[in-house]
Amino acid sequence: DGLMPHLKRLMDIAQRVGFDPADQIFNVNRFSGHYSRPQMNADQVEAMYKKLTAMTGVRMTPHRFRHTIASEMMR
C-alpha cells in the first residue's frame, strides 16, 4: 500500500476541482502571483526546495525527495 492510496486520493480530488489528468499536480505556479506558466521549470523546482530547506532547516533536494518517495513505495 504505502504511498499509492494517498496519491490516488490526491489525483481524485485534483480531478474533482478541475485539474486535467495531464496537469502537474505539484505545480507551484498554480499558487503564485508572480508566475502563470502551465508547467514548472527546473529553476522553479530548485527554488522551491531551497525555500523548503530554509523554512524547515532540513536540507532537501529534488533527488533526495525522489529517493525518499521511491523507498516508501517499495515498502
* pLDDT tens digit sequence for 13-35: 888 988 888 888 778 777 776 76
CB 10 within 8 A of CB 25: yes
* pTM given for the model: 0.54
Q: What is the pLDDT of residue 1?
A: 63
The count of C-alpha atoms lying within 13 angstroms of the C-alpha of 30, restricted to the half-sphere facing its C-beta, is: 11
Q: What is the pLDDT of residue 57?
A: 93
**Alpha carbon distance 48, 56 (integer Å):** 12
- Tens of pLDDT along 33-65? 676 777 888 888 888 889 889 999 999 898 888
Q: What is the pLDDT of residue 56?
A: 93
